[in-house]
Amino acid sequence: MSIWDVKRLYKAFCFSCAGFRHAIRNGAAMRQELTAAAILVPVSVLLPVSGMERLALVSSMMLVLLVELLNSAIEATVDRISMEHSPLAGQAKDMASAAVLVALLMSGLCWAVIAGPVAVRWFRH
């Protein structure tokens, strides 16, 4: 790996961090989902579950963040093209939002199936 490759990777990392900062500053949903992840990821470490189950719990939260970033990028791109109302622009935004909903439902299901029985056992004692 040459020094130019390292510089390119560093620049790419900086651009990624800038995008993440922008999403946090300007996206209420991103802040809410990050807050949930900041709570649930440590909870997953404390749960008496297998490594694979823990991986599924954390991965489901990361998927929500990933899809939210893509949703925000799609919304910004659509807004950049035109601020005028367009049925196609609305469809693009709605479908991106639906993708976030699917990721949230999948994550919720994952947590319910894996962490739910553990929580039930804890509250019964």
Distance between CA atoms of residues 105 and 83, nearest Å: 30
Active site residue 68: yes
C-alpha 65/C-alpha 62 separation (Å) is: 5
Nearest to 70 by CA among 92, 96, 109: 96
Look at the alpha carbons of 75, 76, 80, 83 in this order and tell me if their dihedral is positive or negative. positive
List 33, 53, 68, 75, catalytic entry: 68
Catalytic residue ranges: 68
